[in-house]
């Protein structure tokens, strides 16, 4: 039983950080009424968490590599509990947004440490099983977040945040008691300027895509994108000038498996999950489906994801990375093309094929992705490599949501059926094309067996 405690801690932390990315959505009307604020201000309660999570993953992965993952994990669990309690006690929307910002920072630190913890603890078949369980939990967390958010809001919206406190503190206690202290990964100084440039560029890019998804093209989003391009250029220039203290480093950038894993992470999140808000809107706007029924229909995807990861994840983890990546992307692409069915066949059942296929494809990729992110990477750098791949997933999700929202807006001049027929066709073809491009990258980039293929 003691052997499984690191897996329990890692899965608990992952479940919390991913569930609390979505758990607030259902409780928004209750929060708006209680705090007497509009939905425009409350949107930041969701967005600020997403931006902090994506922007700080790689910098905090580097911090974990340097100071030790156990210390960062322990303090981030305590911070997550404290921020959740502050959210539950927030007297107004400003305090709530600031507490969610801290919660997002803690979530990024958790995400940056959970996978290196598993990688350092388990080996061989146990490692593949651990990653399969982690992948299944991460796939289920978003669905559970939506459902549990609705259930907990029946006790008041403050209960939604208060529920995280005992879970986070229990995980922190297990970490303090059972996890051995790890050694810091190096004495070279942290490149704080590079970390700031990277976080600002990625955070600004995510913020711009979210604004674009919600409001369309506007001067604010355009200005932020230009600023992000300048910050990104500054980051690249600094990385080249200071390779010894670089955030990513030349060895990681030249790692073929890491680069392909990053492409796959962004692509399958773009394709499988980026379309979900648009599909949810279609179910309720075009078909008149209730919110509860819509949640149940969409939950087919994470349930399929979970079952696939649990049943097949460890087996696919023992194969060469090329096989599960290509197979998962092809199945995801088929699921994306299945979104053509709702444009041709009336009724909510037409979307089930897309939910099942994208769930299976994602369930094949997700358990393999963590190990691939750390293939051939020095143990002292696994935190930053796994964080970079997880950041690519978050970026792919934000970009996918923005692209699919744009597809809906482009067709707004039509009436209801015409709008959704054209929008769903556009979304299906776009997401399938992304899967096809990523599949090509896998086949071309992973032509030779990776060192861990037979592990």
pLDDT, tens only, 268-327? 989 988 888 788 778 877 788 776 677 778 888 888 988 888 888 778 777 788 889 999
Q: Which two tokens stand for residue 451?
A: 């060192």
- Does residue 363 register a pLDDT over 70? yes
Q: Which of 31-35, 256-260, 326-330 is predicted with the least confidence, judged by mean pLDDT? A: 31-35
Q: Which two tokens stand for residue 327?
A: 């197979």
Q: Which two tokens stand for residue 286?
A: 């075009």
- Does residue 445 register a pLDDT over 70? yes
What is the number of H-type helices and E-type strands within the chain?
Answer: 21, 0
Per-residue model confidence as pLDDT tens digits over 131-180: 888 878 887 786 676 666 666 766 778 888 998 999 999 999 998 888 87
Residue-level pLDDT at 455: 37
- Is residue 321 within 8 A of residue 257, CB to CB? The reply is yes
- Is residue 301 within 8 A of residue 272, CB to CB? The reply is yes
Residue-level pLDDT at 118: 83
Per-residue model confidence as pLDDT tens digits over 58-99: 888 888 877 777 888 999 999 999 999 999 999 988 999 999
> Angle, nearest 10°, between helix axes 322-337 and 352-365?
170
Superfamily designation of domain 1-179: MFS general substrate transporter like domains (1.20.1250.20)
Say if 1-179 and 255-446 have the same CATH topology: yes
CATH number at 255-446: 1.20.1250.20
The band of 28, judged by pLDDT with boundaries at 50, 70 and 90, is confident
Nearest to 124 by CA among 449, 371, 365: 371
- Is residue 359 within 8 A of residue 303, CB to CB? The reply is yes
Burial of 331 (0-12, 13-18, 19+ CB in 10 A): buried
SS3 assignment for 10-62: HHHHHHHHHHHHHCCCCCHHHHHHHHCCCHHHHHHHHHHHHHHHHHHHHHHHH
Per-residue model confidence as pLDDT tens digits over 226-267: 888 898 898 888 888 877 667 777 777 788 888 899 999 999
> What are the domain boundaries of the chain?
1-179, 192-241, 255-446
| Interatomic CA distance for residues 283 and 274, integer angstroms | 16
Mean pLDDT of the chain: 82
Residue-level pLDDT at 417: 63
- Does residue 356 register a pLDDT over 80? yes
| Interatomic CA distance for residues 163 and 148, integer angstroms | 10
Contact residues for 440 (Cβ-Cβ < 8 A; gap 6+) = none
The band of 452, judged by pLDDT with boundaries at 50, 70 and 90, is very low
Using only C-alpha atoms, what is the Rg of the chain? 21
């Amino acid at each position: 039983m003691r052997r499984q405690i690191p897996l329990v801690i890692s899965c608990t932390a992952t479940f919390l950080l991913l569930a609390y990315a979505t758990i607030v959505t259902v409780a928004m009307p209750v929060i708006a009424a209680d705090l007497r604020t509009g939905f425009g201000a409350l949107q930041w309660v969701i967005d600020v968490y997403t931006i902090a999570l994506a922007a700080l993953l790689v910098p905090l992965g580097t911090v974990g590599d340097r100071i030790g993952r156990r210390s960062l994990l322990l303090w981030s669990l305590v911070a997550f509990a404290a921020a959740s309690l502050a959210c539950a006690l927030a007297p107004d929307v400003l305090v709530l947004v600031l507490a969610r910002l801290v919660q997002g920072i803690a979530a990024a630190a958790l995400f940056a440490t959970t996978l290196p913890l598993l990688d350092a603890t388990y080996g061989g078949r146990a490692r593949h099983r651990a990653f399969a369980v982690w992948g299944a939990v991460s796939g289920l967390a978003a669905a559970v977040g939506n459902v549990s958010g609705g259930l907990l809001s029946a006790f008041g919206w403050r209960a939604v945040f208060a529920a995280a406190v005992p879970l986070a503190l229990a995980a922190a206690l297990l970490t303090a008691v059972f996890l051995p202290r790890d050694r810091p990964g190096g004495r070279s100084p942290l490149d704080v300027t590079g970390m700031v440039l990277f976080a600002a560029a990625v955070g600004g890019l995510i913020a711009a895509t979210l604004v674009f998804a919600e409001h369309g093209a506007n001067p604010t989003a355009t200005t932020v994108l230009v600023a992000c391009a300048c910050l990104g250029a500054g980051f690249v220039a600094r990385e080249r000038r200071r390779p010894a203290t670089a955030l990513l480093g030349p060895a990681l950038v030249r790692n073929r498996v890491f680069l392909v894993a990053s492409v796959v992470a962004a692509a399958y999140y773009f394709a499988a999950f980026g379309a979900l808000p648009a599909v949810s809107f279609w179910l309720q706007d075009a078909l008149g489906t209730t919110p509860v029924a819509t949640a149940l229909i969409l939950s087919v995807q994470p349930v399929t994801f979970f079952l696939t990861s649990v049943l097949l994840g460890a087996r696919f983890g023992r194969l060469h990375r090329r096989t599960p990546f290509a197979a998962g992307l092809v199945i995801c692409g088929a699921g994306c093309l299945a979104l053509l069915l709702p444009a041709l066949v009336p009724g909510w059942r037409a979307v089930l094929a897309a939910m099942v296929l994208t769930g299976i494809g994602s369930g094949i990729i997700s358990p393999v992705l963590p190990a691939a992110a750390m293939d051939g990477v020095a143990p002292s750098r696994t935190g930053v490599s796994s964080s970079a791949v997880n950041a690519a997933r978050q970026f792919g999700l934000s970009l996918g949501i923005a692209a699919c929202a744009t597809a809906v807006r482009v067709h707004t001049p039509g009436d209801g059926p015409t709008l959704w027929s054209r929008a769903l066709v556009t979304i299906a073809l776009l997401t399938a094309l992304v899967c096809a491009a990523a599949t090509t990258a896998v086949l071309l980039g992973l032509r030779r067996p990776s060192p861990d293929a037979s592990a």
